[in-house]
Amino acid sequence: RKSGILEYVDTEKLETADIGGLDNLKKWLEIRKKAYTPEAEQFGIGWPKGVLLVGVPGCGKSLSAKCVAASWKMPLLRLDLGRVFGMYVGSSEANIRLALSMSEAVSPSILWIDEIEKALSGLASSNQSDGGTTSRVFGTILTWMQEKKSPVFVFATANNIGSLPPELLRKGRFDEIFFVDLPNEQERAEIFRIHIKRIGRNPENFDIAKMVKLSGEASLGDGVRLTGSEIEACVNQALLEAFFVRNSEGHPEG
């Protein structure tokens, strides 16, 4: 299951509806899903190449990778670029070739390249610092993305577009680049509902409008809004507190 650089990620219980907000991405993915049908192939529609999701941590990039794999019913393989760089000259390139060919061997599949900027951050100076390994590995990935023969959908995620090499952002590399921002009011409402359902409660019984207000700029200050992951944490905390109240044990922290 875990080869070190390539990890099979279990996505069994997820669906696209588990993502709150990110409507453009969800719509795009729904349409592209149809490209994998025999009808689409007969019609001459090629396989989608992939997408790049860039944006704020904790707002659903990883979640989206998992949900798309579940919705498309394809295996999700997470590539840990940080681990690709081996100790011996030449082994990094061999590692990446092996990982890429493994993703083709189980295709149609989704190759999730997580936090792509982390591994590539030293690219500009890499020729001096690592004998050019980073740029050769990066080149191998770019060439493979252009020339791969099997339906492997690349789902790349990054936190900061400024640290990504321009070659990666060139037109035609990915089908689309999506920016993920802090959720707005409507998106926060959706995310609260999703997580309230997840803990087995009915969102109709909750004052979602108040939660939306408390988790946004009106309460937290200019430019401050909770992330999806913080909303999830709030719901979990509220459940815990409700449990203490119900059992009349008082709050453990007073």
Question: Least distance (Å) from ligand ATP to the CB of residue 201?
Answer: 16
Which part of the chain contacts ligand ATP (CB under 6 A), choosing from 59-67, 119-127, 201-209, 234-242? 59-67
Tokens 């001096």 -> residue: 128
Structure tokens at 139: 């080149």
109-113 and 76-79 strand pairing = parallel
Which positions from 181 through 220 interact with ligand ATP, judged by CB under 6 A?
191, 194
Which part of the chain contacts ligand ATP (CB under 6 A), choosing from 33-41, 55-63, 85-93, 139-147? 55-63
Distances (CA, A) of 222 to 212, 217, 218, 225, 231: 15, 5, 8, 8, 18
Residue 19 engages ligand ATP in binding (rule: CB under 6 A): yes
The residue (of 32 and 78) whose beta carbon lies closer to ligand ATP is 78
Question: Quick one: which of 59, 67, 74, 182 contacts ligand ATP (CB under 6 A)?
Answer: 59
Question: Least distance (Å) from ligand ATP to the CB of residue 247?
Answer: 26
Question: Quick one: which of 6, 16, 21, 174 contacts ligand ATP (CB under 6 A)?
Answer: 21
d(CA 161, CA 166): 9
Q: Where are the alpha helices (DSSP H) in the chain?
A: 23-33, 38-42, 61-72, 81-84, 91-105, 116-120, 126-129, 133-147, 166-169, 185-198, 208-214, 217-220, 228-246
- By CB under 6 A, the count of residues binding ligand ATP is 17
Which positions from 118 through 177 interact with ligand ATP, judged by CB under 6 A?
159
Question: Which residues of the chain form contacts with ligand ATP (CB under 6 A)?
Answer: 19-22, 57-63, 159, 191, 194, 228-229, 232
